[in-house]
């Protein structure tokens, strides 16, 4: 079983559209949407949920008004600007649940034991069926933390499903950026497919994402979306990628059928006579051949 | 503009044009004679500098406090490992191990240590660079590659930006979780950039929910607006009760200018008026 993670560095370069097409091309994969704070894969794959569970990534603090003596110790100790001081209220101090990092320092050092510190529900995760294969996805609550932990949970569940059913591929839709949820998405995977665009931002962000996959020693592959928007830039990016040890597996033409597919809620490879679809098929062939080489 | 106003540019979905809108807006503000500062809080992938091409004058590291254990003083009691919620310090067989990259810098272990064996030292997670771009103040953070936690760096960028008066324009990272919240703090008004596509609008909905939760007034910019799809965006915003401030057409010339690192404001003068008008309506909205 091979786990392939699609990431981009820069957001909006076409990760989810590509993953939806790989879902259709890879024959009964397990799908995992690890972009847990702005998940979109479900909009195309229309999963039917068969298992839902709450996700608790950590604890959060709450001041019990009757016990609080307004001493201000919590306000003094909190390093996350999460204790709000409002002299017009009683008690004067309260916890801002959005800013609370869940460290528990306020609760531990409150002289009145007036701060409870309990597991909080930060989101939900789902196992669903799609017309291409099972899918694990999640929804992080509004303004919640711990997206890295939720990503690890989604990947773990996807792996379990693939093992149980003996399915050959896990295709992961990754988040943008290079921080906590991205690190949680790529570590220990079989390969990372980077999709970027031929712009100065795409080039800049690719350098950082390439450094990240090198840091974690994961085989990396590149495709450039809308490459014809700036062919010289595309070439420059590809050259840089190759010299950084990343293999180029294809290019995708700028094609309005990508947006039309999104509106129709189907993968672009299911649109007839689409140039982008043709390009994505070639990418999958090249990628699958490479991924199955390294055993 | 005398009083300080902070306008944040956010989106939910990545790649909808936050940097395009915020950098052009910042340029428009500077050209119109505002005292303005552009703050790039997308510290994982900062891009504003590629378009504003600032002259960088200052560069300094941002650190978070992590524990340093004095083995001579440590009795191996394990209190530090018990309070830590992030598995950043563990006590096994009376020996303390620290995992600095997991540390959130809450200071709990130092506070709880009965023998004073724990002090704190700074660990660099990224840098801040400051400079000028024409008449515009410029500031961005760059997270070191391999670092997981961007919020402390974002908070540092924001508080460095607090010092500048006038108009502050904040480029916010994509998503809806902690980095976004850190970047939005203190904003008077948030401009949400979307595309009129299902992905764009789904993530716009999530971003609107975040702003309602935070209680910050907001309006929408529809980028890459397209007669074939615009009605989706208009219907969506009407339903959500959110105002569309401007629609920027899906113009291949804008995309090509962007690909070369040029601002539409500079490369395509016919766009200047729309950014100027957007600036005026934002100022009005932010002062409400």
φ and ψ of B91, to 5 deg:
-120, 110
User: Is pLDDT of B64 > 80?
Assistant: yes
**If contacts are CB pairs under 8 Å, which of residues 186-245 in chain B contact chain A?**
197-199, 202-203, 206, 209-210, 213-214, 226, 229, 232
Domain assignment present for B134: no
Q: Residues A107, A197: one domain?
A: no
Looking at chain A, the whole-number percentage of residues with pLDDT higher than 90 is: 92
Question: How many angstroms separate the first and last alpha carbons of chain B?
Answer: 15
Looking at chain A, the whole-number percentage of residues with pLDDT higher than 70 is: 99
Domain's final residue, options A98, A120, A142: A120
Q: Residues A29, A172: one domain?
A: yes
Distances (CA, A) of A129 to A123, B174, B190: 20, 28, 37
Per-residue pLDDT band for B163 (boundaries 50, 70, 90) equals: confident
**If contacts are CB pairs under 8 Å, which of residues 154-213 in chain A contact chain B?**
175-183, 197-201, 204-205, 208, 211-212
Q: Residues B237, B106: one domain?
A: no
Q: Residues B80, B52: one domain?
A: no
**If contacts are CB pairs under 8 Å, which of residues 2-41 in chain A contact chain B?**
8-13, 16, 36-38, 40
- Is A101 in contact with A2 (CB distance < 8 Å)? no
User: Is pLDDT of A11 > 90?
Assistant: yes
pLDDT of residue B4: 86
Q: Residues A42, A168: one domain?
A: yes
Q: Judge residue A229's burial from the number of C-beta atoms within 10 Å of its C-beta, 0-12 exposed, 13-18 middle, 19 or more buried.
A: buried
Residue ranges making up the domain that contains B173: 5-62+145-287
pLDDT of residue B239: 97
Please state which of the ranges A131-140, B13-22, B160-169, B243-252 shows the lowest mean pLDDT: B160-169
Q: Residues B87, B225: one domain?
A: no
Q: Residues A204, A281: one domain?
A: yes
User: Least CB-CB distance to A205: which of B45, B197, B255?
Assistant: B45
Q: Residues A93, A183: one domain?
A: no
d(CA A119, CA A279): 47
pLDDT of residue B234: 97
Instruction: Determine which of B14, B99, B196, B214 to mutate to test the interface with A (most A C-beta atoms within 10 Å).
Output: B14
Q: Residues A49, A62: one domain?
A: no
pLDDT of residue A294: 64
Q: Residues A188, A85: one domain?
A: no
Degrees to nearest 5, angle at CA B213 with B163 and B281 = 60
Determine contact: B12 vs chain A, CB below 8 A.
Answer: yes
Per-residue pLDDT band for A295 (boundaries 50, 70, 90) equals: low
Mean per-residue pLDDT of chain B? 94
Residue B198 and residue A263: Cβ atoms within 8 Å?
Answer: yes
CB-CB neighbors (< 8 A) of B176 in chain A: 37-38, 140, 142-143
Q: Residues A116, A261: one domain?
A: no
User: Least CB-CB distance to A103: which of B85, B155, B179?
Assistant: B85
Degrees to nearest 5, angle at CA A262 with A258 and A263 = 120
Instruction: Determine which of A9, A117, A152, A178 to mutate to test the interface with B (most B C-beta atoms within 10 Å).
Output: A178
Domain total in chain A = 2
Question: Which pLDDT tens digit goes with each residue over A210-222?
Answer: 999 999 999 999 9
Instruction: State the smallest CA–CA distance between residue B276 and chain A in angstroms.
Output: 24
Looking at chain B, the whole-number percentage of residues with pLDDT higher than 70 is: 99
Domain assignment present for B89: yes
CB-CB neighbors (< 8 A) of A111 in chain B: none
Domain assignment present for B127: no
Residue ranges making up the domain that contains A185: 2-56+123-294
Q: Average pLDDT, stretch A56-60?
A: 91
Domain total in chain B = 2
Q: Residues B175, B43: one domain?
A: yes
CB-CB neighbors (< 8 A) of A8 in chain B: 14
Instruction: State the smallest CA–CA distance between residue B70 and chain A in angstroms.
Output: 21
Per-residue pLDDT band for B3 (boundaries 50, 70, 90) equals: low
Domain's final residue, options A83, A105, A120: A120
- Is A107 in contact with A117 (CB distance < 8 Å)? yes
Q: Residues B50, B167: one domain?
A: yes
Tell me: cis bond preceding B283? Omega within 30 of 0 counts. Answer: no
Q: Residues B100, B232: one domain?
A: no
Determine contact: B45 vs chain A, CB below 8 A.
Answer: yes
Q: Residues B178, B278: one domain?
A: yes
**If contacts are CB pairs under 8 Å, which of residues 156-185 in chain B contact chain A?**
173-181, 185
Q: Residues A114, A165: one domain?
A: no
Q: Average pLDDT, stretch B268-281?
A: 94
d(CA A273, CA B57): 52
Q: Residues A62, A158: one domain?
A: no
d(CA B85, CA B69): 18
Residue A12 and residue B261: Cβ atoms within 8 Å?
Answer: no
Domain assignment present for B163: yes
Q: Residues B149, B10: one domain?
A: yes
Q: Residues B199, B223: one domain?
A: yes
Q: Residues B233, B107: one domain?
A: no
CATH of the domain at B75: 3.30.70.20
Residue B146 and residue A212: Cβ atoms within 8 Å?
Answer: yes
Q: Residues B152, B273: one domain?
A: yes
CB-CB neighbors (< 8 A) of B177 in chain A: 36-37, 140, 143-145, 147, 181
User: Is pLDDT of B57 > 90?
Assistant: yes
Per-residue pLDDT band for B32 (boundaries 50, 70, 90) equals: very high
Distances (CA, A) of B29 to A23, B36, B136, B143, B189: 45, 7, 8, 27, 16
User: Least CB-CB distance to A177: which of B44, B51, B209?
Assistant: B44
Q: Residues A70, A50: one domain?
A: no
Question: Which pLDDT tens digit goes with each residue over B75-110?
Answer: 999 999 999 999 999 999 999 999 999 999 999 999
Instruction: State the smallest CA–CA distance between residue A144 and chain B in angstroms.
Output: 5
User: Is pLDDT of B2 > 60?
Assistant: no
CATH of the domain at A266: 3.40.50.300
- Is A233 in contact with A203 (CB distance < 8 Å)? yes
Task: Give which of B280, B136, B195, B169 is closest to B12, Cα–Cα.
Answer: B195
Instruction: State the smallest CA–CA distance between residue B22 and chain A in angstroms.
Output: 14
User: Least CB-CB distance to B143: which of A79, A144, A179?
Assistant: A179
- The pTM assigned to this predicted structure is 0.94
Instruction: State the smallest CA–CA distance between residue B180 and chain A in angstroms.
Output: 8
Q: Average pLDDT, stretch A38-65?
A: 95
Domain assignment present for B140: no
Mean per-residue pLDDT of chain A? 95
Domain assignment present for B245: yes
Domain assignment present for B128: no
**Cα A163 versus chain centre, distance:** 22
d(CA A221, CA A282): 13
Residue A176 and residue B175: Cβ atoms within 8 Å?
Answer: yes
Question: Which pLDDT tens digit goes with each residue over A79-135?
Answer: 998 999 999 998 999 999 988 999 999 999 999 999 999 999 999 999 999 999 999
**If contacts are CB pairs under 8 Å, which of residues 48-87 in chain B contact chain A?**
50-51, 83, 85-86
ipTM exceeding cut-off 0.90 for this assembly: yes
Domain assignment present for B131: no
Q: Average pLDDT, stretch B230-250?
A: 95
Q: Residues A20, A162: one domain?
A: yes
CATH of the domain at B238: 3.40.50.300
Domain's final residue, options A120, A152, A171: A120
Q: Residues B197, B97: one domain?
A: no
What is chain B written as a DSSP string?
--S-EEEEEE-SSTTSSHHHHHHHHHHHHHHTT--EEEEE---SS--HHHHH--EEEEEEEEEEEEEEE-TTT-----HHHHH-SSS-EEEETTEEEE-GGG-----HHHHH-TT--EEEEEEEEEEEEEEEETTEEEEEEEEPTT----HHHHHHHHHHHHTS-SEEEEEPPSSSSHHHHHHHTT-SEEEEEE-SSHHHHHHHHHHHHHHHHHT--EEEEEEEE-TTTHHHHHHHHHHHT--EEEEEE--HHHHHHHHHT--HHHH-GGGHHHHHHHHHHHHHHHH-
CATH of the domain at A84: 3.30.70.20
């Amino acid at each position: 079983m091979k786990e392939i993670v699609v990431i981009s560095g820069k957001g909006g370069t076409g990760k989810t559209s590509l993953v939806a097409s790989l879902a259709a091309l890879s024959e009964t994969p397990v799908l995992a949407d690890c972009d847990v704070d702005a998940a979109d894969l479900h909009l195309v794959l229309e999963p039917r949920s068969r298992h839902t569970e709450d996700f608790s990534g950590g604890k959060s603090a709450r001041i019990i008004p009757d016990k609080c003596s307004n001493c201000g110790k919590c306000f003094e100790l909190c390093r996350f600007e999460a204790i709000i001081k409002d002299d017009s209220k009683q008690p004067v101090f309260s916890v801002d649940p959005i800013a609370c990092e869940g460290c528990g320092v306020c609760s531990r050092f409150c002289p009145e034991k007036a701060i409870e510190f309990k597991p909080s529900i930060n989101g939900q995760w789902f196992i669903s069926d799609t017309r291409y294969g099972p899918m694990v996805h999640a929804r992080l609550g509004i303004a919640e933390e711990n997206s890295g932990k939720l990503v690890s949970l989604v990947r773990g569940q996807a792996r379990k499903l693939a093992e149980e059913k003996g399915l050959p591929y896990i295709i992961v839709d990754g988040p943008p950026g290079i921080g906590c949820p991205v690190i949680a998405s790529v570590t220990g995977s079989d390969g990372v497919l980077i999709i970027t665009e031929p712009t100065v931002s795409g080039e800049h962000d690719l350098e950082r994402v390439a450094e990240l996959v090198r840091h974690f020693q994961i085989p990396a592959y590149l495709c450039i979306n809308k490459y014809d928007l700036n062919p010289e830039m595309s070439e420059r990016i590809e050259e840089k990628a190759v010299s950084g040890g990343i293999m180029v597996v294809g290019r995708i033409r700028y094609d309005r059928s990508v947006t039309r597919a999104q509106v129709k809620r189907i993968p672009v490879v299911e649109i007839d006579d689409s140039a982008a679809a043709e390009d994505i098929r070639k990418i999958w062939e090249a990628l699958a051949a490479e991924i199955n080489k390294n055993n | 503009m005398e009083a300080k106003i902070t306008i944040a540019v956010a989106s939910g979905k990545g790649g909808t044009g936050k940097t395009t809108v915020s950098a052009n807006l910042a340029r428009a503000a500077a050209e119109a004679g505002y005292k303005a500062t552009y703050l790039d809080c997308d510290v994982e992938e900062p891009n504003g500098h590629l378009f504003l091409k600032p002259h960088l004058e200052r560069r300094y590291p941002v650190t978070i406090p992590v524990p340093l254990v004095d083995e001579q003083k440590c009795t191996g009691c394990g209190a530090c490992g018990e309070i830590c919620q992030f598995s950043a310090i563990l006590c096994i067989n009376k020996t303390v191990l620290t995992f600095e990259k997991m540390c959130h810098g809450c200071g709990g272990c130092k506070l709880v240590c009965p023998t004073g064996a724990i002090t704190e030292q700074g660990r660099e997670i990224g840098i801040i660079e400051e400079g000028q771009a024409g008449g515009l103040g410029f500031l961005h953070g760059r997270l070191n590659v391999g670092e997981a936690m961007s919020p402390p760096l974002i908070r540092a960028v924001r508080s460095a930006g607090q010092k500048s008066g006038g108009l502050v324009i904040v480029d916010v990272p994509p998503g809806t979780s902690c980095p976004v919240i850190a970047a939005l703090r203190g904003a008077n008004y948030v401009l949400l950039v979307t595309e009129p596509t299902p992905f764009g609008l789904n993530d716009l909905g999530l971003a609107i929910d975040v702003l309602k939760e935070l209680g910050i007034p907001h309006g929408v910019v529809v980028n890459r607006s397209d007669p074939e799809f615009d009605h989706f965006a208009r219907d969506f915003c009407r339903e959500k009760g959110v105002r569309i401030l401007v629609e920027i057409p899906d113009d291949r010339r804008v995309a090509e200018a962007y690909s070369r690192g040029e601002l539409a404001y500079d490369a395509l003068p016919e766009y200047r008026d729309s950014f100027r008008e957007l600036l005026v309506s934002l100022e009005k909205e932010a002062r409400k």
